[in-house]
Chain A
């Protein structure tokens, strides 16, 4: 197989996107969506076919040198190693299903060309991140993802709320990008190259302090894209976009980019204990924070948004405790069940007649058993029900954290277990409020289109069975994913401890479920108590940012604008201009039309010249 074929994987979506940008508005609706689905499924097929290229050391191909000047080189090149192969397959696969779903979901929209073009470009940008062999090319994709998310979240831009949600996502992730950009430049100045392989091979040369700084900067960049504390505030608002976009952002692209970056740079990151601890801490705290916020959310998509944030927190924790395979394992399972949940939520919203509030739903189980069962699978995976994909992947992370031993990691493990209990609770709360009890929605819903419905079963199957990918030895597996990624096997805990921990997890899972069952089996009525509104607003994070960041910023801006620009600069400029005009008027009036006066000019001029010459020669 020609390795250059690898380039077709990102180029196909780019091509689809560009065609839709240029000609989409003149093409029929079906052709637009068809083209876009074909482009992404084409890359999925290619990724499957080219899978063998990713084994072992992987394959590196260069299409051409993008930038080349003394000492600096950036290629348009692909590094298709095991990590990238897994990620590519997941991204293209899930994206294909989401595109299919979107073709059904957006069938009635006014501007499908813009939507599908952005969707394709989104996948293209994500594939750039995944496949790039150097950080600059990766950064290109990184920014592309940011831009496309901006365009898609604010897709229905006529509503200013949506537009500002898009803006918020763009700006907040942009803050993270800044850190990443600094890290990129710093790495270049330290190594003289931006090649990922070369950097990872030479990290041992670096000063530990510098290494910690770089790790923290990379963490900052990852936090922005992956919506981790403290750059998490854009994710709940990003629900303003169409549901397929939410699915794409949360499952296949965007938020996983941060985790992937840390995995890609793991040889560098892992050498800094402080950096690793920071990553783990950020992950654990975000997991807890987001899970607590999810407890009180009212909108179905916001519950899912916070759950994503929380699950990504687990992945960060995994990187922080040193298990790339754990992070990637959870990333994969999460991608499947989260795509399933979001697309299921889209169906639910259609069923409920456009209602978003779970307190205004209920009783949907009778209305559409199919959606219920599929959604149930997603919820079970999310809650970590034993033997589902989500259970194995989450368990692997927590086990590694526990095995890390010292007090700090033990605390993080505790947080993780507590979060697992919370997750179980809010997952089932969602399920009960939406599908059980009495029907409370006002509008008359309609059944989702077959295209939407039939994209869900493959995801449900994958979500349930991904556990097999990395089945631990305890269950008779061989940790295939870990082997494939070439990562060291997790330390074997004594079997007794491992079983004990499993039981603990089970207790937390069952506890969360039982509480949810008792409380939400039947509809308890609207709840708006004080602590709930605190959690509903995400711990008032927006207000805190408003207070400590935005207000001072606005004050500075106002000062610079009113004081600096308007008063000082404009004042000086206008004053000078007025002065010039005033003098100009005076000079202009010298030309008064009198020849005698003009001749005087001669006389004065001559007098001055002769006078000067006289003075000069006297001297």
Chain B
């Protein structure tokens, strides 16, 4: 019987050498031409923590952590129609083995709509996309009135997936109604949030979904040209997009008189140049125009005056990727998923101190608890959940009290956080909230375009205060100053970067004020993170002088005679923690 081996080709698994697994498989399979086994590289399967992922169809067997050494055995098992148990997923808590994806906790509560093709198809082969309904939506749309298409998107309740959640149908309508002899469709694939890789996975795993979405948008708003603005740090996504565009052109889905409809559309790719602020729509447009990526005041909005002054519809990758599905299943069906005001699903990059890190897609309205504990598999090493950061550097943290909050646009904004583009970072007791705020603020300050005073100067001064607090030099007034600066920056900054930069500070202060106060009053970091507030000490009673720690200390901070208790010099110690991992006498502690 013939089999298909789907190997995950998402960046995560590729960095774990999944492409070498692919090569080895091809190599081995060539030795035996009689085996009817086909090997395919697909997009991201989502379970990055367990990669490289290999799925065998039609048996629907889910293998993880596959290496090149496993290949010969794997081929044997496939030929015999057997399952290689040692490569199956084992639940970390129960120890149970899962044979297929559907049995795995990580996948159970997910609803993979946008990511449906990721992991199933070869993203460099348009025919596989077509075989699963690809470009049918485009065909259907070309036979409709443009206003009908916009109505359908409005009815679906789709909201922008880039973070702000503006109703997509309404945005399309504005652009369609704007006056202009030329209109553009732009896809924001800049994805600048640190740790976010939703858009990347979609572009790498199912680029045609994005193209089809842009085509449908172009038709609806009256545009004949589009740009995908991809960050340059995504070379694989750029490569796959280029291939997809070429294939689509060859098949007549892009170009002139598409499918004999009289509709023309072409897509260009513009690579970014490493600036987070270019994810802001007006800065992005400036960058395409060859100018410095700096935002400009709005109104006028891009729908009215965008690229080169023409009406432009700008949406996120995930937003466009939703569009063909909405057309195919119908707006009403789509609107059944999610909540009243937040329809559909959302892709999240689930990372941090949880067991199952990876790419997930869930229906809107699911609780944070379900995401973290069911899908995420709970906190790593059984530690205590402390908070989850949602929305990256523009977002806020949610403490355990809010674990049962439904994940949708409005519930999140109500508590001072925001959906953001989909980055979720889970934290445990070993995360210092002051340090977290510092991390994000350091990022936004460095990425500030520098145009407006509150963001450029204000985030710098907030950062300096946080640094003082983290190094034990904080003062009482600092908390009030942080609040004042945050207030002013939020209300006066020119663009979303500045307006949301204080959020991490504000939410951590709101829910973890005591941690700030401890840093200031007691000059102590409860989580043991802030380097200048913790000292690594060796308990002389427990230390046997085995010198293991001293040998591994990268800064040469530990000294002592063999068999004599060792001592750590706090001035040289960088608090890297290597000594603790090496000591098997448990003699090193944080004072």
Chain B associates with chain A = no
The interface of chain B, by Cβ under 8 A from chain A, is none
The interface of chain A, by Cβ under 8 A from chain B, is none
